Amino acid sequence: MESNEQNISFEELAESKPTEIQSLAPDYIFLNEGAVGLSATARCILDELRDWHKKTEKHGSKSIHPSYLLTLDKLAELLNKYRNLSEQAKSPPSVDLALRQLVDYEKKGKNKSAYIYPFLVRNGAKIQARIAIASPQKEAKTDVSPYRAACFEFSEEMVDLILQNRAKKPKLPDENSPGAFLLHKNKAGKNWLFPKLASLEAEFSTLLKRGFQPYSYIPMTDFLRDFLTYATKKNYVMKILPDYHIILDDLQLNPDGSYVNQPEIIAHYRCQADALEKFAIPYLKELSGRAGYELFGRRIAEFEQTHIQTVEPGKKQNGEKVKALISLINDYPFERETDELGKKVSETCKLSVQIISKLMEEKEKLVQRKEESVFKSLKSKILHKIGEHTLQEQTLYSFSPEQKLKSSGLSDVIRYPALVDELKRRFLINME
C-alpha cells in the first residue's frame, strides 16, 4: 500500500497552485526523431499514435474531443498486429515500461514524447475513467494543454455527479477499527500509517487506477490538480491540507436535530485518530525503550491506563484522549533520533497530527454548518408549502417568520433578526 500513496503524487499536488482549466500554461511534448532511448514497444505505440492522429484529421476533425483520441484499452489490440514484436514485448509489463518512457516518468515529463490524461464516461449506472494518449508528432514540439482542457471539460458533468452523490452518501468507517484502512505494511514489511489515503485525492485516484487496468497506474497529477481546482471553485470540497481534501457533505438532520448520517468531518477525525494511536503508541514504546527513556515509558503506560484500558464504549476517539495522544507525540524528543526509523516515525506522526489538528478545528465549526443546513431546509419547506397552498387555495400563503424559525430547531437566537429579514426578502408574500 505504500506505493498506493506514492502513486497519487501528493507532494506534487501540495506544491501546485490552482489553475483554471481555461487558462493553462503551455505544456509541450517533443518529437523524438529516431526514437532515442525508447523500447520497441514504445516505438510501436508512437507509430500508432501518429497514425491515429492522421486518421482523425483526414475525417475533417479540427477540434479536439476525447472520443477522437486513442485510449489505453485499445493498445493491446493495436500492438497485436506487429509481428516483429514478441509476446513479451506486448505484455503488460512491457507496455508499462513503454508508457513510462513515453511520458518521461523518471524526469517528471521534461522530455515526454506523449501525453496521458483521463476522461470520465458513464457506463450504465457506473462512471468509468478512460485513459487517453496524445502524440501528433507533426511539429518539433506540441502544446498538449488543449488536450488536457478538452478531456477535463468533457468530464465535468461526471465530476459533478460523483461529488453530488458523495455529498449525500458519506463513507462510514468501521465502528470497531475506523482507522484500519490507513494502516498497511511498508516496503520494509513494517506496519505503517498512510494518513493521506483517507483524502478525496486518494479516493478519486482509485477510479483512475481502474482505467489503467491491466497496466500499472501512472499518477494523473494534472487531472487531480484540475479536479481540485474545479471542485474547490464549486464549493464541493473542504481543504485540510493542500494535498488532502474532503467532501463538503450535505448535513441531513432528523426531526430531533440529530444527524441522519455521521458528518464527513467526524468520520475523518475518527479514522485519523484511531490510526495514529495504533501507529504511534507501539513505535513510541520501541523508540523510547531502545533510547532508555524510562520516564517517557511511564507516560505511555499512564496514557494506556487512562485512555485505552479503561475507556468506555463509544469514547474511543474522544477529544480528551486525542489531545493527550498529540501531547505525548509532541513531547517525544524526535530531534535526538538519528536512524531512518526514528526520522520516518517522526515525519509520519507530525503529518498525522497536522491533519487531525485541522480536522479538530473544522469539527468545532459543525454547529454553524448545522444551523445553515437547518435554515436551508426551512426555506425549501416554505417554498414547497407556498406552491402547495397556492395550487389548492388560490390565495397567498401567510406565515410568521419568527414562528417558523422557532419551530425549525435553530438554536442561535442571536441570528433570528437577520434570518427573519432574509426570509422576508426571499419570500415576497403575506406575513402574519
Per-residue confidence at 407, pLDDT binned at 50, 70, 90? low
Read off the pLDDT of each residue in 409-429 and give the average, rounded to a whole number.
62
Who wins on pLDDT, 411 or 57? 57
- Does residue 350 lie in a domain region? no
Q: How far apart are CA 89 and CA 84, in angstroms?
A: 10
| Mean pLDDT across 322-348 | 96
Nearest Cα residue to 350 out of 338, 365, 335: 335
- Domain contains 82: yes
Q: Is residue 45 one of the residues assigned to a domain?
A: yes
Assign 399 a pLDDT band (cuts: 50, 70, 90). low
pLDDT, average across residues 184-189 = 90
End-of-domain residue from the set 208, 235, 262:
235
How much is the pLDDT for 193? 96
Q: pLDDT for 115-126, tens place per residue? A: 999 999 999 889
Query: Is residue 426 within 8 Å of 386, Cβ to Cβ?
Result: no
Residue 353 has pLDDT above 70, yes or no: yes
**Contact indicator for 39, 101 with CB cutoff of 8 Å:** yes
Q: Grid cell 475507556 — which residue? A: 311
Domain-terminating residue out of 192, 208, 235? 235
Which run of H or E residues covers position 133? strand 126-134
Could you say which of 181, 215, 235 is where a domain stops?
Answer: 235
Same domain, 230 and 373: no
Residue with cell 500509517: 193
Same domain, 228 and 372: no
Angle subtended at Cα 193 by Cα 188 and Cα 197, rounded to the nearest 5 degrees: 115
Closest CA to 377 of 214, 260, 206: 260
Domain count within the chain: 2
Are residue 230 and residue 372 in the same domain, yes or no? no
pLDDT of residue 211: 95
Which run of H or E residues covers position 245?
A: strand 244-247
Q: Is 163 among the domain residues?
A: yes
Confidence class for position 404, pLDDT limits 50, 70, 90: low
- Within a domain: 146: yes
Q: Does some domain include residue 333?
A: no
Handedness of CA 72, 76, 80, 84 (dihedral sign): positive
Q: What is the pLDDT of residue 170?
A: 81
Does residue 108 sit in helix, strand or coil?
coil
Mean pLDDT of 372-393: 71
Judge if 224 and 372 occupy the same domain.
Answer: no
225 with 372, same domain: the answer is no
Domain span holding position 407: 368-429
Are 42 and 120 in contact by the 8 Å Cβ rule? The answer is no
- Among the ranges 19-23, 238-242, 381-385, which has the highest mean pLDDT value? 238-242
Confidence of residue 6 (pLDDT cuts 50, 70, 90): very low
pLDDT mean across residues, the chain: 86
Task: Point out the least confidently predicted range of 133-142, 221-230, 397-406.
Answer: 397-406
Q: For residues 114 and 131, give the distance between their C-alpha atoms in angstroms, rounded to a whole number.
A: 13
CB 325 within 8 A of CB 307: yes
With respect to residue 231, please indicate whether it lies within any of the assigned structural domains. Answer: yes
Does residue 56 fall inside a structural domain? yes
